[in-house]
Amino acid sequence: MSVYPVVLCGGSGSRLWPMSRGGYPKQYLKLTGKNSLLQQTVERLKGIAEVNPPLLISHEEQRFLVAEQVRKVDVTPQTIVLEPVGRNTAPAVAIAALLVTEKDPEGLLLVLPSDHVIQNETVFHALVAQAATVAQMGKLVTFGIKPTSPQTGYGYIRRGASLTTDGAYHVDAFVEKPDLATAEQFLAAGSYYWNSGMFMLKASVYLDELRRLQPEMLVNAQLSLERSMRDGDFTRLNKDAFTACPSDSIDYAVMEKTTEAAVIEAADLGWNDIGSWSALADIGDKDDDGNVVLGDVLTDQVSGSYIRAEYRMIAAIGLKDIVIVETADAILVAHKDKVQDVKKIVERLNASKRSESITHRKVVRPWGSYEGIDNGDRFQVKRIIVTPGAQLSLQMHHHRAEHWIVVKGTALVDNGDQHILLTENQSTYIPLGVTHRLKNPGKIPLELIEVQSGPYLGEDDIVRFEDTYGRVEAPAVIK
């Protein structure tokens, strides 16, 4: 028995705005500890017997986030598959199954979302072993979370007849998210589970079911992989073929239609899909008034609330069951009962083309990060950090000039025909239209202040000539 973990990490997580954003979604955030949710997911795999390095599937725009985060926890994936467009989970798992069957026709896929919390890893490892045994029987196994309350935000699974003596069952039905009265009936019945979105299945069996139930999806997934390109640790799927895949979840495409679906009961797992701020409040450490308080927060007569300060102090008085989340450029204030409606705010931000739905004030890039400090008419100030050995693209701007002042570390600058080495408190000026590049040749992070001036300061005013990270083909993006 050989288990191949498949970690799905391409989602957007809009319900945890303002921390989770399109360009930096929740799986990459440190919401429940010192590591991000993605890092917790891959580290959780280390205790599984006969487990292979994980196969990660993400969107191509998140490729460097994925690679850097797993590197920081000393995990080397089999590959990182890059989807050119989102097509939900069924095509993603098809790609993983095709890759695994090439090397191991009997390989088992352990399919995991990258944004869940599992507090009892010992139970998780035991459940994985149990699911693997059932999957070897040719069953497509889902992990059913034993419900502890009548939740209306989860889909449910109704179990059928026993399949084994240790808590594995045939699936009788998948049930959509219920209203409260129905959820209460499900809880009382004792035969319903929350649908966790975690699966264990033999790769070859999944492909057989796709061939029967979703032949168009399988054909296009095969084409996208056959025409893919290897780029270091990345596997870039062919855009035309993958775009032609029908967009569907593994539940709708396969699990609800197959006769081979099975469910194992997952009790005492400490599972949470972190689908809202109230879910984070449920698992957080509470004070004597039932509050979860993170960061620089002062409270008086506040109870049952979740308050998170990332940059500034928050003072709250006379509140009950409220969520307050502060970031550098946005603050969310909501009643706990309304946190699911955060996605409506994100939709309005997207409709008005505001950047707060996509990026934070601090923007992570493959070479480091930059953060807006100040801006006004015809000027903008940024703090730039370049990791040791990294460099920005060779580029120029049509509408702005730039001043670079080194605050910490060493900068190697190409400025037109000049090649300059700058250290702390030294600076250079880059006129409009001059080709330039910034590199950190040192062993510590390079920090500098960039002052931009000109009639247009948009991030699409970049023309790239060379780029370490393969972005020359798309000049109208941030550097």
DSSP 68-132: HHHHHTT---SEEEEESS---HHHHHHHHHHHHHHH-TTPEEEEEESS-EES-HHHHHHHHHHHH
339 SS3 class = helix
- pLDDT bin (cut points 50, 70, 90) of residue 133 is very high
Q: Running DSSP on this structure, what letter comes out for residue 359?
A: -
Looking at the DSSP assignment, which residues form a beta bridge with residue 415?
Answer: 418, 436
Global pTM value: 0.88
Query: Distance between CA 130 and CA 112 in Å, rounded?
Result: 16
Instruction: Count CB-CB contacts under 10 A for residue 139.
Output: 26
Q: Is the pLDDT of residue 476 over 60?
A: no
Place of tokens 């250290």: 423
pLDDT at 47: 85
Query: Distance between CA 105 and CA 98 in Å, rounded?
Result: 10
Query: Distance between CA 397 and CA 454 in Å, rounded?
Result: 10
215-238 pLDDT, tens digit each: 999 999 999 999 999 988 899 999
Query: Distance between CA 33 and CA 29 in Å, rounded?
Result: 10
404, 413 Cβ separation under 8 angstroms: yes
Average pLDDT of the residues of the chain: 93
Looking at the DSSP assignment, which residues form a beta bridge with residue 175?
Answer: 156
- Mean pLDDT for 425-429 is 97
Q: Running DSSP on this structure, what letter comes out for residue 238?
A: -
pLDDT at 477: 42
Q: Is the pLDDT of residue 278 over 80?
A: yes
Q: HSE-up of 98 (CA within 13 Å, CB side)?
A: 22
Q: Is the pLDDT of residue 474 over 50?
A: no
Helices 89-103 and 203-213 pack at an angle, to 10 degrees, of: 130
Q: Is the pLDDT of residue 246 over 80?
A: yes
Domain boundaries along the sequence of the chain: 3-272, 277-343, 362-466
335-387 pLDDT, tens digit each: 999 998 999 999 999 999 998 999 899 888 889 999 999 999 999 999 999 99
CATH homologous superfamily of 362-466 equals: Jelly Rolls (2.60.120.10)
Q: Is the pLDDT of residue 176 over 80?
A: yes
Query: Distance between CA 275 and CA 14 in Å, rounded?
Result: 9
- Mean pLDDT for 305-323 is 97
Domain spanning 3-272: CATH 3.30.590.10: no
Query: Distance between CA 262 and CA 170 in Å, rounded?
Result: 5
The contacts of residue 75 (CB under 8 Å, 6+ apart) are 42, 43, 53, 54
pLDDT at 478: 41
- pLDDT bin (cut points 50, 70, 90) of residue 475 is very low
Token pair for 86: 């989102």
- pLDDT bin (cut points 50, 70, 90) of residue 472 is low
The four Cα atoms 340, 345, 348, 349 give a dihedral, to 10 degrees, of -130
Helices 215-226 and 203-213 pack at an angle, to 10 degrees, of: 120
Nearest to 436 by CA among 462, 468, 408, 472: 462
- Mean pLDDT for 17-42 is 94
- pLDDT bin (cut points 50, 70, 90) of residue 14 is confident
